[in-house]
Amino acid sequence: MMKKQYDFSKGEQGKFYRPDVILKLPIYLDDNLAAFVEEYAKEKKADLQTAVNKILRHNKEMLQALR
């Protein structure tokens, strides 16, 4: 349960801040897209990350060609 008030007077700002850290946030796909990518990865004998990168890279190239 949350308190109505917290005392941060002894807190240290930026204690855990690391400017060189790169965060890689999770991306959640719709169920039908996840199933498609999983099947594609299985067909290509690749892991999911490789399959998603390949799909996105191809899409990026197509979109850049349309510019």
**46 part of a folded domain:** yes
pLDDT at position 59 over 90: yes
**51 part of a folded domain:** yes
Sign of CA dihedral 41, 47, 52, 58: negative
Q: Quick count: other Cβ atoms within 10 Å of Cβ 51?
A: 20
Sign of CA dihedral 16, 27, 61, 51: positive
**10 part of a folded domain:** no
**3 part of a folded domain:** no
Residue 3's pLDDT is 93
Residue 36's pLDDT is 96
**25 part of a folded domain:** no
What is the span of the domain harbouring residue 61?
31-66
Arithmetic mean of pLDDT, 39-60:
95
**42 part of a folded domain:** yes
At 55, list the tokens. 């799909």
pLDDT at position 67 over 90: no
Arithmetic mean of pLDDT, 13-29:
93
Residue 35's pLDDT is 97
Arithmetic mean of pLDDT, 42-50:
96
> Structurally, how many domains does the chain consist of?
1
**9 part of a folded domain:** no
